Amino acid sequence: MDMKTRIFLFLIIIMGSFSITLGQNSGRKITISGKVIDGTDSPVANAIIMLDGEKTGYLTDREGFYKIKVSRENTKIGVFISPNGLIEELLNGRAVINFRFTGSVPVQYNEKPDIDNEVVDVGYRNAKKKTITSPVGEIKGNKSKYASYNNIYDMIRGEVPGVIVNGTSIMIRSTTTVNGSTEPMFVVDGVPVTTIDNIQPIDVRSISILKGSSAAVYGSRGSNGVIIINLLHGSDK
């Protein structure tokens, strides 16, 4: 075997080893930890840890500390607490990330252990009842009086408590305003949509309103609350 061949084989081995190492490192998770406090320097317990705008199953402990493993593909970490809302930080390779809410944060209580694992249908995904600390308002459709409404916005204004409707603009009371927007997230038959203009009141089976921690299962998109609409189909009408 001549020298050129040996060098060529050596380079192939080195490059192969580098590729394997790179692949292993890219799949490894890193641990992020930190503490969450409010504007009075008090620890914030039971805050929901978010990754890239999505809820995780991790909460801060009673002293406000958290620890979570994240993949190298994740870019943002955040904490959510009701009624103060969501704050986020870029990971940027950091292993320790602390958070501070403005103002004071009310004490957050866990649900009773016997109902912690009860599953509640909140639209296109389910949530354990322990993640829901705000009331879930709901009305049932299929009533003849709903046909008297001109459109879905009039129906929501007249039938759904806890909302403010101005024309085609809806705001859920006591929700956090994000980026100047007050519009809630809409989910129709389990699918997120950008408008509900085409929905006829007579076709509505039910409307549910989520806010606070109950809306956190939808990530940052639910920061202004979530309106879940289920429709009647076919023989249901």
Domain boundaries, the chain: 1-109, 113-236
Q: Is 207 in contact with 156 (CB distance < 8 Å)?
A: yes
Supply 13's token pair: 């081995």
How far is the C-alpha of 85 from the C-alpha of 225, rounded, in Å?
Answer: 11
What residues form DSSP beta bridges with 67?
A: 33
Fold of 1-109: Immunoglobulin-like (2.60.40)
* Maximal CA-CA distance, the chain: 91
Q: Which of 191, 185, 196, 188 is nearest to 221 (CA)?
A: 185
Identify the CA nearest to 225 among candidates 215, 236, 234, 237.
215
β-pair type (226-231, 185-188): parallel
Cα 171 off chain centre by: 18
Contact 170, 153 (CB under 8 A): yes
Q: What is the pLDDT of residue 99?
A: 96
Whole-prediction pTM value?
0.44
Nearest to 80 by CA among 224, 192, 180: 224
pLDDT, mean of each 10-residue run, the chain (237 residues): 64 59 58 93 91 86 91 91 86 94 76 39 46 50 71 88 87 65 83 87 85 74 84 67
For 158-177, how does the pLDDT look when each residue is reduced to its tens digit (9 = 90+)? 888 888 899 889 988 766 55
Same fold, 1-109 and 113-236: no
Provide φ and ψ at 25, rounded to 5°: -65, -35
Q: Considering only CA atoms, give the Rg of the chain.
A: 24
Is 113-236 assigned to CATH 3.30.2130.30? no
pLDDT in tens, 194-215: 889 888 888 888 888 888 777 7
